[in-house]
Amino acid sequence: MATTKQATELAETLMRLHRQVRSALGAVAYDFDLTVQQAELLCVVQHREPSFGELAERLGCDKTNVTGMVDRLVRRGLVERYPDQSDRRVSRLRLTKDGEATGRRVKQRMAATVQERWGTLRPADRAALDRLTSSDLSG
């Protein structure tokens, strides 16, 4: 049974890490003239063709936001919509060739940034991180 103090410290640590990762992702996104959310979307859609509802859940935002976010990325030629075959209410999303390449480069750059900052992490610590996120339904 963990103490309140331990829980508070864990929360602070996670909130600090959250700001650090957002800052790193923001810097990478900036270099590609993307917002943090757009960069996240490109990464999340890689190797998937989610519906708008699924995408909203993964990104942790309301479905009404997704419409606008996708519109802006469509305008930039990075993603495209297509109708689901079995349910005509559903739209699905896929990366264009350009979006595929951009998403891959964002991920590579993010990996390099992470490597530079957190690359000294010991294998045991890396494993700990994996466990921390492994019970995930939305990632």
User: By the criterion CB under 8 A, which residues form the site for its own copies?
Assistant: 2, 4, 6-8, 10-23, 25-26, 40, 43, 58-60, 107-108, 110-115, 117-119, 121-122, 124-126, 128-133, 135-136, 138-139
**Which one-letter amino acid corresponds to residue 17?**
L
**Helix (H) or strand (E) segment spanning residue 91:** strand 91-95
Spatial distance between the Cα atoms of 112 and 28, rounded to a whole number of angstroms: 10
Assess contact for 95 and 46: CB atoms under 8 A.
Answer: yes
Q: Minimum Å distance from CB 114 to DNA?
A: 19
The one of DNA, its own copies, none whose footprint includes residue 72, by CB under 5 to 8 A per kind, is DNA
Q: Minimum Å distance from CB 124 to DNA?
A: 33
Residues 50, 32, 109, 36: is their CA dihedral positive or negative?
negative
> Per CB under 7 A, which of residues 37..96 are in contact with DNA?
37-38, 51-54, 59, 61-72, 81, 84, 87-92
